[in-house]
Amino acid sequence: MSSALLEHLGLADDDRVVLEPVGDETPEAGIVLTENPATGRPIAGVRLDTEESYEQTMLAAIAGFDRWRRVPAPVRGQVVRAIGEEMRRSLEPLGELIALEVGKIRAEGIGEVQETIDIADFAVGLSRQLYGKTMPSERPEHRMYEQWLPLGPIGVISAFNFPNAVWGWNAMLGAVCGDSLVWKPSLFAPLTAIATNSIADRVACQMGHEGVFNLVIGTDDVIGERLIHDRRLPLISATGSCRMGRHVGAVVARRLGRTLLELGGNNAIIVEPDADLDLAFEGTFFGAVGTAGQRCTTTRRLIVHESVADVLVDRLVTAYKGVVIGDPLDRRTLVGPLINSRSVDQFLRAIEQAKQQGGEVLVGGERVTGDGFGGHFVQPTIVRVPASGAFPIAHEETFAPILYVFTYRDLDEALAMQNNADQGLSSAIFAGGMRAVERFLSPAGTGSDCGLAYVNGGTSGAEIGGAFGGEKDTGGGRESGSDSWKQYMRRQTVTINHGSSMRLAQGIEFGASS
Ligand code: UN1
């Protein structure tokens, strides 16, 4: 399976990919092994970039930018359209590669590529809508307007869990905005990155545009640090942990660069007494179990009214018991492996701490081993939180399928619990009546404090059309839809005097003639 797939996606011929020999022995210096998390076995070796090759790529991106920014935006949109078409043709193999390399189930791998296709479509339309405003000047015979200009080569850092779509959000928007990209993907998903970037670069080059889509693969120490310190990159868009984001934010701020940070989440679903419990069940199930709990939007906390808690939780426990865990490429599987053994350790440690802090494990809580489970599998887990006392583990984002269940009596209490998290990415309420919904969405800002708020839908699975991101430790950035494109451009306010006298703003008179 894997070799045919690598062949099909052109990876077998890529200079960076080392297919043979891939054994258990430590690879030669400068090569990283990417492994299949379902088996724990290596898939291929990938050559890492060095400082020198980084510099070459950077120079290509600078030259690429200088040519690309001169291409009219709607023409750039046509290149993005062709990339979207090529992604459509590669939908299944690319989705399968994602499943193979990061362990998300096939349907979700394909869904991720679909997300890139969707943002490509969005970006094509956008390429004719990079609108600036016109504003009336206070002075006669003056005109004022703003225009949006390409920003530069931009740095993109992405995490393992969305190795294709997060690039898509940045790359498709950045490209129509006239930027070139230098992408540093996760070292857990280098093959997906190579396949993804090759598609975009090949299409762009065939249409005569070299140096727009660039890739650097390397460690955080060597390549990551170079990238974030590099003053030639006016924007660093980074997705990953809060710890990483804090570092990137500080380094880029010191050089007065721009960041777009999309970091962790500790997302909650509130379930009101009059909620449609079928919907609440489905939303929670996908939100908490999907992608084996490895989305930044994963539902980590269920805050359920005490009157419906038992019914809903019993139903979830039954469903969790029936979940098919296994090979992500097997179409029956709902839960694939975690990305690596460290994630399994963190899962086990969180469960241990939950128990020590008085939590009751209602289902799951174990690592899954045995035949066919050579990789990093764990059971989706529900923990009931003790009625009183601190429960600090629920404040941590453990990147694994653990759902903490809290109960509440009144909505204010539930809203306070939902907002009592360091991060502010995604939130949801299931409710029948509009009063609770309106309090959750209050225009005074007293409801959910998150960047994403869902009503009768779970916390994960955003469409591309909205701005995606969140507040507090989530980093404040907004990617994907709406007006997120503005972050990939620089704004210029233009004032034109088309008269024959010099008039100063604020009515100031200055000079001898007055
Ligand atoms: C992420 O986990 O970093 O809303 C992104 C979602 C997806 C994106 C998740 N569209 O769950």
Atom of ligand 1 nearest to the CA of 265: 2
pLDDT in tens, the chain (514 residues): 688 889 889 999 999 999 876 766 677 789 999 999 999 999 999 999 999 999 999 999 999 999 999 999 999 999 999 999 999 999 999 999 999 999 999 999 999 999 999 999 999 999 999 999 999 999 999 999 999 999 999 999 999 999 999 999 999 999 999 999 999 999 999 999 999 999 999 999 999 999 999 999 999 999 999 999 999 999 999 999 999 999 999 999 999 999 999 999 999 999 999 999 999 999 999 999 999 999 999 999 999 999 999 999 999 999 999 999 999 999 999 999 999 999 999 999 999 999 999 999 999 999 999 999 999 999 999 999 998 878 999 999 999 999 999 999 999 999 999 999 999 999 999 999 999 999 999 999 999 999 999 999 999 999 999 999 999 999 999 999 999 999 999 999 999 999 999 999 999 999 876 5
Residue 417 lies in a domain: yes
Residue 39 lies in a domain: no
Give how many domains the chain has, as a whole number. 2
> Residue 1's pLDDT is what?
64
| C-beta of 461 in contact with ligand 1 (< 6 A) | yes
Ligand 1 centre to CA of 262 (Å) is 10
- Tell me, yes or no, whether 208 and 338 share the same domain: no
| C-beta of 447 in contact with ligand 1 (< 6 A) | no
- Tell me, yes or no, whether 439 and 480 share the same domain: no
Name the residue of 98, 156, 162 to mutate for ligand 1: max ligand atoms within 8 A of Cβ: 162
Residue whose structure tokens are 């390409």 = 150
Contact 303, 269 (CB under 8 A): yes
Residue 404 lies in a domain: yes
Supply 387's token pair.
């009625």
In order of 16, 20, 44, 266, 407, the CA distances from 25 in angstroms are 19, 12, 13, 38, 50
Residue 435 lies in a domain: yes
Ligand 1 centre to CA of 426 (Å) is 10
Q: Which residues are within 8 A (CB) of 192 and not within 5 positions of it... i.e. 6 or more apart?
A: 94, 97, 98, 101, 102, 163, 164, 185
- Tell me, yes or no, whether 250 and 197 share the same domain: yes
Q: Give the pairing type, strands 423-424 and 471-472.
A: antiparallel
Atom of ligand 1 nearest to the CA of 295: 2
Q: List the domain range (segments joined by +) for residue 485.
A: 51-263+475-492
> Residue 21's pLDDT is what?
63
Ligand 1 centre to CA of 297 (Å) is 6
Q: DSSP E strands: which ranges in 124-256?
A: 134-135, 142-150, 153-157, 180-184, 213-215, 235-239
> Residue 446's pLDDT is what?
96
> Residue 388's pLDDT is what?
83
Which entry of 177, 296, 450, 479 is annotated as an active-site residue? 296
- Tell me, yes or no, whether 258 and 271 share the same domain: no
3-state SS of 34-59 is EEECCCCEEEEEEECCCHHHHHHHHH
| C-beta of 161 in contact with ligand 1 (< 6 A) | yes
d(CA 298, CA 397): 10
> Residue 28's pLDDT is what?
79
d(CA 105, CA 487): 32
| C-beta of 215 in contact with ligand 1 (< 6 A) | no
In order of 332, 347, 355, 427, the CA distances from 377 in angstroms are 16, 10, 20, 27
> Which stretch of DSSP H or E encloses residue 248?
helix 242-254
Contact 408, 414 (CB under 8 A): yes
Contact 286, 460 (CB under 8 A): yes
In order of 91, 162, 186, 189, 427, the CA distances from 32 in angstroms are 26, 20, 11, 11, 37
CATH number of the domain bearing residue 365 = 3.40.309.10
Residue whose structure tokens are 């500790």 = 266
Residue 11 lies in a domain: no
Cis peptide before 21 (omega within 30 of 0): yes
Contact 270, 440 (CB under 8 A): yes
- Tell me, yes or no, whether 158 and 211 share the same domain: yes
- Tell me, yes or no, whether 293 and 232 share the same domain: no
| C-beta of 169 in contact with ligand 1 (< 6 A) | no
- Tell me, yes or no, whether 142 and 172 share the same domain: yes
| C-beta of 162 in contact with ligand 1 (< 6 A) | yes
| C-beta of 111 in contact with ligand 1 (< 6 A) | no
Is 296 part of the annotated catalytic residue set? yes
Q: What is the pTM (predicted TM-score) of this model?
A: 0.96
d(CA 493, CA 29): 51
Atom of ligand 1 nearest to the CA of 460: 11
Region of 462 please: left (phi>0), alpha (psi -120 to 50) or beta.
beta
Contact 31, 47 (CB under 8 A): yes
Contact 10, 198 (CB under 8 A): yes
Residue 430 lies in a domain: yes
505 backbone dihedrals φ, ψ, rounded to 5°? -70, 165
Contact 269, 458 (CB under 8 A): yes
Residue 76 lies in a domain: yes
- Tell me, yes or no, whether 140 and 252 share the same domain: yes
- Tell me, yes or no, whether 369 and 433 share the same domain: yes
- Tell me, yes or no, whether 225 and 275 share the same domain: no
How far from the centroid of its chain's Cα atoms is residue 286's Cα? 17
Q: What is the DSSP track for 149-160?
A: EE--EEEEE--S
Is 205 part of the annotated catalytic residue set? no
Atom of ligand 1 nearest to the CA of 296: 2
d(CA 305, CA 436): 12
Ligand 1 centre to CA of 311 (Å) is 29
Residue 8 lies in a domain: no
CATH number of the domain bearing residue 125 = 3.40.605.10
3-state SS of 287-307 is HHHHHHHCCCCCEEEEEEEHH
Q: Which residues are within 8 A (CB) of 217 and not within 5 positions of it... i.e. 6 or more apart?
A: 16, 32, 46, 47, 48, 49, 184, 185, 187, 190, 193, 194, 223
Contact 439, 415 (CB under 8 A): yes
In order of 134, 443, 473, 493, 496, the CA distances from 502 in angstroms are 21, 45, 49, 19, 11
- Tell me, yes or no, whether 144 and 89 share the same domain: yes
Supply 391's token pair.
């429960």
Nearest protein CA to atom 3 of ligand 1, as residue: 296
> Residue 2's pLDDT is what?
80
- Tell me, yes or no, whether 173 and 55 share the same domain: yes
> Residue 3's pLDDT is what?
83
Q: What is the DSSP track for 425-445?
A: SEEEEE-SSHHHHHHHT-TTS
90 backbone dihedrals φ, ψ, rounded to 5°? -100, 10
